[in-house]
């Protein structure tokens, strides 16, 4: 009996080890695709360019579509993309673009000037808010032949080479009715860029496949996978493990913890963006409701409609302290709307104009607006009601949650009671469009041209990019004026004046200009390309340059990059084997013992 059980145990052992051995043998295959993996805590919000507002969606569009004119890797100047060349008439009203004849859609159809015309005209006709401000000055669009596009503008325009609009295939989108433009799923996603999105599982991953017929030449990378993590700590561990090759958007503390990690480069680069405290200044008007579809009522605190209250909040916030404590030096102290990365247009405030950190000044302004602490409970009140505000931070960004904690304590010092809540981007977006908020912390990334970032504070962006419902006539008219100022010094003056107006009115308190924080594996990949050259970030910028240049470090490195952690040993299998062995073994032993005992009992 004893011998039999030994034989059984040995048999089980063999059975358990054979599959483990097979697993090892299978991983040796050399034809694995070259896969590049990106870790992100922020998911896409949509595959549809008319609906998406989140950064990963824009990174996808960068890969999936082409712009008419691109932004160069060296200095963001206009560079050939779909259009190989272009010229403008004297007077600057007529623009002629010559398209690349090689360009084709992912389904094999050629890209023609009709597609560009169709895309732009659809945006103009439907007033598609996310893109309309790039095209407001357009008068007519013509496509005399498949490779030529002619656009005439109403007035001379500075914008015709920086139109950030992905060109869409006419043969797909003409089947999408107008009332479905923003609800269209756009899956499968047909574009003309170097990669094509093939699979998106919300909250898990997005997979892109290389476009072998890309007109600039197919990249080395066969597949790009965005992996979405619920938690930045886990993501950093996954990166250290080599499960992903690139991560971004980390809390500063985690970013700095990666310093000195072997085979890893950490890059902190000034980005044209900022993090702001936004305020709900919505006052429902018939125009806002009928023309822009804004909510009929505002759930925001009425005190925020008073410029003095908003300024009081600005005075109660110590931007320098936040930059120091939250960004740990990876960024600059916030002030005006156009980030310093756009040096020509950024307004540098005089000492005298700056609303610094002064709680007493803040209390004075609140008193001027009629808010005083009459009942001695430490909170200012008016008409018997305490001034209580809600402050939303983003659960997807722990930096904003930390910033909210500082801001809450400063505002409470000034006598404003604040309740802070961390909410998802989705919920925050909905709260903003329903005007059900008081204060929030979020961020913006600017285009290389300042037009976009200026547009987010215009009235005509209500229900699109506007998240404060701030509307100022002077600002609005100057915004339209700067689009036509071909003298760039004059344009800069107008833009600086706009920033001064916005700063004084304080719908936003710009907290800091955060650097773009990236970490990537240099032991597995070469070809990391910064844009602009020497100062910019490697990904999440204005062109697919890194994706086109990436190469696995060596043949072996390529296999490692492709296989990641799926290859090699399979410890789980071994453990399952051991457990199975244990169960079977003990079962056999128990059965035999039972047999022998039964005789005796």
- What track of x and - describes contact with another protein for positions 492 through 511 (by CB under 8 A)? --------------------
Among 81, 468, 515, 570, interactor with another protein by CB under 8 A: 570
Q: What angle do CA 164, 521, 566 make, to 5 degrees?
A: 105
Sole binder of another protein in the list 204, 297, 526, 554 (CB under 8 A)? 204
Which of 70, 129, 415, 443 binds another protein (CB under 8 A)? It is: 129
- Coil, strand, or helix at residue 513? strand
Q: Select from 46-54, 256-264, 374-382, 544-552 the region that touches another protein (CB under 8 A).
A: 46-54
In degrees, rounded to 5, the angle at the alpha carbon of residue 127 between the alpha carbons of residues 123 and 132 is 65
Q: Which is nearer to another protein, 94 or 181 (CB)?
A: 181
Cα separation of 265 and 518, whole Å? Answer: 8
Rg for the chain, CA atoms, rounded: 29
Give the footprint of another protein on residues 417-436 (CB under 8 A). Answer: 423-424, 426-427, 429-431, 433-434, 436
Does residue 233 belong to the site contacting another protein (CB under 8 A)? Answer: yes
Q: What is the Cβ-side half-sphere exposure of residue 332, based on CA atoms within 13 angstroms?
A: 15
Measured in whole angstroms, the distance separating CA 142 from the mean position of its chain's CA atoms is: 33
Q: Strand, coil or helix: what is 557? A: helix
Q: How far is the CB of 207 from another protein (least distance, A)?
A: 6
586 contacts another protein (rule: CB under 8 A): no
User: CA–CA separation, 564 vs 543, rounded Å?
Assistant: 27
Q: Which of 576, 588, 589, 592 lies at the binding interface for another protein (CB under 8 A)?
A: 576
Burial label for 311, CB within 10 Å (0-12, 13-18, 19+), is buried
Determine which residue in the list 12, 76, 99, 130 makes contact with another protein, applying CB under 8 A: 130
* DSSP designation for 220: S
Rule CB under 8 A: choose which of 260, 487, 555, 601 binds another protein.
601
CA–CA gap between residue 189 and residue 197 (Å, rounded): 6
Nearest to 54 by CA among 206, 162, 214: 206
**What secondary structure letter does DSSP report for 378?**
S
For residues 283-302, which are near another protein according to CB under 8 A?
Answer: 289-290, 292-293, 295-296
Taking the complex as a whole, the smallest distance from the CB of residue 203 to another protein amounts, in Å, to 6
The reply to whether 26 sits near another protein by the rule CB under 8 A is yes
C-beta separation of 61 from 562 below 8 A: no
Instruction: Establish whether the linkage from the previous residue to 354 is cis, with ω within 30° of 0.
Output: no
Strands 385-386, 551-552: pairing kind = unpaired
Q: How far is the CB of 593 from another protein (least distance, A)?
A: 9
Q: Using the minimum distance from each CB to another protein, give the nearer residue, 130 or 456.
A: 130
User: Which positions lie near another protein, rule CB under 8 A?
Assistant: 19, 22-23, 26, 35, 37, 50-51, 53, 127, 129-130, 181-183, 185, 201-205, 207, 223, 225, 227-231, 233-235, 237-238, 240-241, 243, 289-290, 292-293, 295-296, 395, 423-424, 426-427, 429-431, 433-434, 436, 463-464, 564-566, 570-573, 575-576, 597, 601
């Amino acid at each position: 009996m004893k011998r039999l059980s030994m034989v059984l145990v040995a048999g089980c052992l063999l059975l358990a080890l054979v599959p483990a051995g097979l697993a090892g043998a299978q991983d040796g295959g050399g034809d694995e695709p070259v896969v590049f993996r990106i870790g992100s805590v922020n998911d896409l919000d949509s595959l549809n360019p008319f609906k998406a507002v989140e950064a990963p969606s824009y990174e996808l569009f960068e890969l999936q579509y082409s712009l008419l004119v691109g932004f160069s890797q060296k200095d963001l100047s206009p560079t050939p993309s779909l259009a190989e060349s272009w010229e403008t008439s004297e007077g600057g009203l007529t623009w002629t673009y010559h398209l690349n004849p090689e360009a084709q859609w992912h389904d094999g159809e050629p890209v023609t000037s009709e597609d560009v015309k169709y895309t732009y005209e659809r945006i103009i006709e439907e007033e598609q808010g996310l893109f309309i401000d790039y095209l407001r000055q357009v008068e007519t669009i013509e496509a005399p032949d498949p490779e030529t596009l002619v656009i005439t503008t109403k007035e001379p325009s500075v914008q015709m080479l920086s139109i950030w609009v992905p060109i869409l295939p006419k043969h797909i989108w003409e089947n999408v009715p107008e009332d479905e433009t923003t609800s269209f799923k756009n899956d499968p996603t047909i574009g003309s860029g170097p990669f094509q999105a093939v699979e998106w599982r919300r909250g898990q991953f997005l997979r892109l496949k290389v476009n072998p017929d890309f007109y600039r030449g197919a990249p080395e990378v066969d597949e790009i996978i965005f992996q979405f993590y619920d938690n930045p700590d886990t993501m950093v561990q996954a990166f250290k493990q080599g499960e992903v090759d690139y991560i971004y958007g980390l809390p500063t503390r985690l970013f700095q913890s990666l310093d000195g990690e072997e085979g890893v480069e950490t890059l902190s680069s000034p980005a044209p963006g900022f993090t702001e405290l936004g305020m709900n200044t919505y006052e429902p008007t018939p125009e806002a409701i009928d023309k822009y579809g804004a909510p009929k009522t505002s759930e925001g605190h009425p005190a925020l409609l008073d410029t003095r209250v908003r300024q009081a909040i600005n005075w109660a916030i110590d931007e320098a302290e936040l930059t120091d404590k939250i960004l740990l030096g990876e960024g600059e102290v916030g002030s005006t709307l156009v980030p310093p990365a756009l040096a020509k247009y950024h307004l540098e405030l005089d000492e005298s104009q700056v609303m610094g950190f002064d709680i007493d000044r803040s209390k004075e302004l609140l008193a001027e607006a009629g808010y005083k602490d009459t009942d001695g409970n430490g909170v200012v009140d008016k008409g018997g009601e305490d001034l209580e505000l809600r402050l939303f931070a983003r659960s997807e960004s722990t930096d904003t949650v930390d910033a909210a904690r500082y801001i809450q304590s400063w505002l409470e010092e000034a006598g404003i009671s604040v309740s802070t809540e961390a909410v998802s981007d989705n919920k925050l977006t909905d709260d903003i469009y329903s005007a059900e908020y008081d204060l929030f912390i979020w961020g913006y990334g600017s285009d290389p041209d300042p037009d976009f970032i200026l547009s987010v504070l215009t009235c005509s962006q209500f229900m699109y990019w506007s998240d404060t419902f701030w509307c100022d006539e002077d600002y609005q008219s100057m915004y339209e004026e700067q689009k036509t100022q071909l003298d760039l010094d004059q344009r800069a003056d107008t833009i600086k004046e706009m920033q001064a107006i916005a700063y004084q009115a304080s719908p936003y308190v710009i907290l800091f200009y955060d650097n773009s924080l990236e970490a990537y594996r240099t032991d597995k990949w070469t070809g990391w390309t910064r844009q602009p050259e020497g100062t910019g970030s490697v990904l999440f910028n204005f062109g697919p340059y890194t994706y086109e240049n990436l190469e696995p470090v060596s043949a072996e490195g390529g296999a490692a990059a492709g296989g990641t952690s799926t290859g090699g040993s399979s410890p789980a299998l071994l453990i399952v084997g051991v457990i199975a062995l244990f169960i079977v073994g003990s079962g056999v032993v128990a059965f035999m013992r039972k047999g022998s005992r039964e005789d005796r009992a």
